[in-house]
Structure 1
Amino acid sequence: MKRNLLFAFALGAGLMTASAQAKHEDTEVYTPVPPIVTPGATNTAPPSDAIILFDGKNMDQWVSTNDKSPAKWTVENGTMKVSKGAGNIETKQSFKDYQLHIEWKIPENITGSDQARGNSGVFLASIGKGDAGYELQVLDNYNNKTYTNGQAGSIYKQSIPLANANKKPGEWQTYDVIWTAPVFNTDGSLKSPARVTVLFNGVLVQNNFELKGPTLYIGQPAYTQAHGASPIKLQAHGDKSEPISFRNIWVREIKPLQ
């Protein structure tokens, strides 16, 4: 018993000595130093390190997805609108991990129902022609019932949004997206899947969701095509109603601190 007491005393004394020797500076680091980024004047305005993808003036940062020719969507009154027959468009620049801000509007006089009511999409990585890639759905779901993994704010056919944050048709909506691109091994196998967080009109609707693969209309998604940095794509779905509008699009590349 006496030996145990002596051992406990010695152990306690050792811990007290180690604690006394520890300093708060031991857990403080000073490198790497985060870069200075000046915030925008508002939460929707681009910060100083943002890449401006559309500022309301021209389509210089965009090309046609199918043939990489200049994008043929319409620009008027500070917005760009889906032009019928012009097809999908994508950014000239490719991105890996990023923060994206994009604003979109469904026409006030929208008609139709279900998926035929202002259908479009933001493809967070375009990996081929047509609708190939990873789609964040754009649709009017203010008062429009559809399958829940296909409504606005969904990762199409993969993840139901955590809330329906739609505004009325005719009002501007916002997506703020944190995208972590998938990573592939040298043999083409998947190393780590894509992940996405989405705020829809300031409401969290996707919380670090792990994607199962690129978007598929039919069948189960899977990673079958290795790729690196990719363009961001906007979908021209072909609705017969007035065209969907986009504005104030900017992106910040997310890179490790050096």
Structure 2
Amino acid sequence: MQRPVCWSLLCLLLYTFSVSAQTNELPYATLNLQNLNDFKPTGGNWKIVGDVFYDINKNGKASTKAGTSILVNDLSGKSKDQLFTKMEHGDLELELDFMMEKGSNSGIYLQSRYEIQLFDSWGEKDPKSVDCGSIYERWDESRPEGRKGYEGHPPSQNVSKAPGLWQHFKIVFRAPRFNEKGEKIANAKFIKVIQNGVTIHENIEVTGPTRAAAFQDEKPTGPLMIQGDHGPVAIRNIKYKAYGIEPVTLTKLTLKAYDGKFKSVDDFNALTPKREMPIEILAHQAPGSRDNFGGKITGTIHIPRAGQYLLNLTLRFIPNETLPTNPNGAGELSIAGKKLLTITGKDNNFATITTNLEAGDFPFELAYYKNFGFWYARSNDIQLTIEGPGVQYTPLNPVIRIEEAVSQIKEIATNEPVMQRGFVNHHGIKHTHTISVGEPNDANYTVDLRKGEFLQIWRGDFLDTTPMWHGRGETQLSVPLGSVIELPGKPSLTFLTDQNAAWPDSNATYTNLGYDVDKSGRPVFKYTLGGANVRESLASTDEGRKLAHSFTVTPGSETKEIWCRVAEGKDITVLPNGLYAINDKQYFIELPGTAKPVIRNTAQNTKEMLLPVKATNNVGVVTYSIVW
């Protein structure tokens, strides 16, 4: 009996994140934060505001500004109510930004039952099941002391930011499953939890509601709950995709296979297929040539719900370098006799469409051909994905060839700083002369030695060097393992005629002289800037919560004024505690003493923070700290 082509949410996520292919997705639904109308009636602790400030060093010092788009839990009054959405969900993909007050504690409860912990875990070295991002423990008073809490799951690493900074969660949740009698047949599962860009949980089952859940039973659906009785928290940009259980499926698949070279899929109409065979997956599985073939796959597609659907088709055997005058292949997809997707092979191997489909079972046809092989596109793989109302982003065929599993090659800074030379991707551009430095307390950074550019910082584990050392190591890339903040990446120092002159994208007067290693094992970068000599260093302080960046400049005979570019972002805000919030509170800048920066507009509609390098006794020193 032929099986329908249908994959669980687990397979879906593994496929989506492991296969390199172009993808598009339907937009998320959002919770309106112009008011509280999307939530059930609640207490006065929940408010909508325009901005919020939490002091990095003190709790109870919160302040807000009037406006909309930010949800805050204000516990300055007597009310400490939980907040429930009117929306109820089963399977859910949820994204939101959150901000913690110092020492605060809250939580996001899927179906009001299964908690992802919100907590001020800034700087915690050994995260536990009470820390931010943990799947909170269950609780049973009948268990012995010390064992009442159980099944808690800490995050795989702590990537939490400082109080007062915006953080991000993406949560993919599968609701528990029940049979027709209402009996549970499968546990709830957190398919994936991503905090600040780092996967901290995968495929964690939860056998029942976690501690402090609103309900102790389990149901197919329930509202989202935000904990309001523990501590202050701010939340914004709440968006979600809610899914049903019934999937899109392909059944009764038949392949008509053709041999030879073709100019169009219409050529098949005048030909008799070399073979005709039932198939179970969407692929050209006929024996014969791997390089000169055509195929027409027909079958039935089941659409569970009427509405707008997104389809993405990739013919992976067509290389990107195919010349328009000599296409390697092409393809067409039709549903219910209507041609929906066409790949000409003249410009790319990918096609996408958003279209309305009715619910029901409809004829499905995919025709395609391949005229010649190509060294990196030898595969006969076809990739078709679909997403729609209540239907998660789903591949309608599995991966035919799974790459052999490779053990990850990690570099971890355990007892002293670690340095790694290599290639790094920064804003999509490969930088080839970089050095990445990892600190034992998880504050890490990358500098471009050839250009004198400060590229990125990240908190968490140091580097994945598998792309450098596995096989031929063709990409030579080192990949940060923690939560990355990509900096703009322009020269750190330059000459300016005055404080209004534009900062250059590169510095022709910069000459790299390598680096020394100080007693702590950290590099001290050396270079000249015109006639001036510079020594630049970075060091983690405050147990890794800050990264101090220092420049010592000896002007020598150089008479031009040297400036240091401290930060750039879409906004730079001076906070009540004297810190500067950069780029929508992505990170803080801390300046020493009475240093007064120049904050100015750029031609790119961003803000820029500069400090002059003022020499005393022929030595100028600039120091600032990045806090995140």
TM-score class, shorter-chain normalisation, is 0.5 to 0.7
Task: Give 1:252's match in structure 2, choosing from 201, 223, 241.
Answer: 241
- For residues 146 and 61 of structure 1, the distance between their equivalents in structure 2, rounded to whole angstroms, comes to 37
Which structure has the highest helix share of the two?
Answer: 1
Q: Quick one: percent identity of the two aligned structures?
A: 27
**TM-fit CA distance, 1:125:** 1.1
Tell me if the contact between 2:94 and 2:172 (Cα under 8 Å) persists in the aligned partners.
yes
Task: Give 1:177's match in structure 2, choosing from 164, 171, 178.
Answer: 171
| Residue matched to 2:100 | 106
1:80 is the counterpart of 2:58: no
- For residues 164 and 249 of structure 1, the distance between their equivalents in structure 2, rounded to whole angstroms, comes to 23
| Residue matched to 2:221 | 229
Given residue 121 of structure 1, which amino acid in structure 2 is its aligned partner?
G
Given residue 216 of structure 1, which amino acid in structure 2 is its aligned partner?
R
| Residue matched to 2:390 | none
Mean CA deviation greater in 208-217 or 170-179 = 208-217
**TM-fit CA distance, 1:168:** 1.0
| Residue matched to 1:114 | none
| Residue matched to 1:121 | 107
Task: Give 2:133's match in structure 1, choosing from 128, 153, 172.
Answer: 153
| Residue matched to 2:34 | 57
Whichever of the two has the greater Rg, that structure is 2
- For residues 243 and 133 of structure 2, the distance between their equivalents in structure 1, rounded to whole angstroms, comes to 22
Q: Deviations over 1:11-40 (max 9, x none)?
A: xxxxxxxxxxxxxxxxxx9xxxxxxxxxxx
Which structure has the highest strand share of the two?
Answer: 2
Q: Secondary structure in 2 aligned to 1:142?
A: coil
Q: Secondary structure in 2 aligned to 1:153?
A: coil
RMSD: 2.4
**TM-fit CA distance, 1:165:** 1.0
- For residues 119 and 70 of structure 1, the distance between their equivalents in structure 2, rounded to whole angstroms, comes to 19
**TM-fit CA distance, 1:70:** 5.0
**TM-fit CA distance, 1:49:** 3.7
Aligned length: 186
Tell me if the contact between 1:122 and 1:137 (Cα under 8 Å) persists in the aligned partners.
yes
Q: Tell me the TM-score normalized by structure 2.
A: 0.28
TM-aligned CA distance change 1:106 to 1:253, over 3 Å = same
- For residues 145 and 49 of structure 1, the distance between their equivalents in structure 2, rounded to whole angstroms, comes to 37
**TM-fit CA distance, 1:216:** 2.4
Given residue 74 of structure 2, which amino acid in structure 1 is its aligned partner?
S
Q: Secondary structure in 1 aligned to 2:210?
A: coil
Q: For residues 60-71 of structure 1, what are the structure 2 equivalents within 5 Å?
A: 60-63=37-40, 69=41
Given residue 213 of structure 1, which amino acid in structure 2 is its aligned partner?
G
Q: Deviations over 1:190-234 (max 9, x none)?
A: 2111111100001001101111211026xxx9x973412111110
Tell me if the contact between 1:62 and 1:71 (Cα under 8 Å) persists in the aligned partners.
no
Q: Tell me the TM-score normalized by structure 1.
A: 0.66
- For residues 195 and 116 of structure 2, the distance between their equivalents in structure 1, rounded to whole angstroms, comes to 11
TM-aligned CA distance change 1:142 to 1:226, over 3 Å = closer
Given residue 29 of structure 2, which amino acid in structure 1 is its aligned partner?
I
- For residues 26 and 80 of structure 2, the distance between their equivalents in structure 1, rounded to whole angstroms, comes to 32
Q: Secondary structure in 1 aligned to 2:209?
A: coil
Given residue 220 of structure 2, which amino acid in structure 1 is its aligned partner?
G
Tell me if the contact between 1:182 and 1:192 (Cα under 8 Å) persists in the aligned partners.
yes
Q: Deviations over 1:82-123 (max 9, x none)?
A: 13214101110111111100111013xx2xxxxxx2100000
Tell me if the contact between 2:126 and 2:158 (Cα under 8 Å) persists in the aligned partners.
no
| Residue matched to 1:5 | none
Segments of structure 1 that go 5 or more residues without pairing to the other structure are 1-28, 30-46, 64-68, 111-116, 127-132
Q: Which has the higher contact order (CA 8 A, sep 6+)?
A: 1
Tell me if the contact between 1:119 and 1:237 (Cα under 8 Å) persists in the aligned partners.
no
